[in-house]
Amino acid sequence: MALKDKKQIQKNHSFKQSFTHACFGIYRIFKEERNMRIHTSIAVLVIFVGWLLQITSSEWYWVMACIGWVFVAEVLNTIAENIVDLVTGKTYSELGKHIKDMAAGAVLISACFAGIIGLWIFLPKIWLLLIH
């Protein structure tokens, strides 16, 4: 029986069950959220460029932390949107709109911060390649 067919109402009984539910949640986000797929594509590109430019291990730390931060922000945004939709149904709610806007703003802030860190790491290396 598929995971989506089971109607679990109790706490997970094992690590395996918790892990399975977590993986299904990640699958749903990638399947349903276009922005998560965009963030993933950008992350893959950034990792590839980091590999090409041979960034240092401390720079890798910052790159991976920023990628993780943006992913978590996108997940929390999706959670907020789904909770608002669950509570309001098809009824417009000004408070629901504010919640969704704030959650989207958190993603924007994290993506801008990641972009600034990316520029800080990559621009000097790209500049050196261009002038030599």
32 annotated to bind ligand:
no
Q: Does 85 belong to an annotated binding site?
A: no
81 known member of a binding site: yes
Which residue of the set 32, 59, 74, 94 is catalytic? 74
Joined together, the tokens standing for residue 121 give 């790491």
Based on the residue annotation, tell me whether 74 is a catalytic residue of this protein: yes
In sign, the C-alpha dihedral spanning 14, 27, 7, 5 is negative
- Residue listed under structure tokens 């291990």: 57
94 is in an annotated binding site: no
- CA pair distance 80, 99, nearest whole angstrom: 7
Please give the annotated binding residues, written as ranges.
33, 74, 81, 100-101
Please give the annotated binding residues for ATP, written as ranges.
33, 81, 100-101
Catalytic residues: 74
Please give the annotated binding residues for substrate, written as ranges.
74
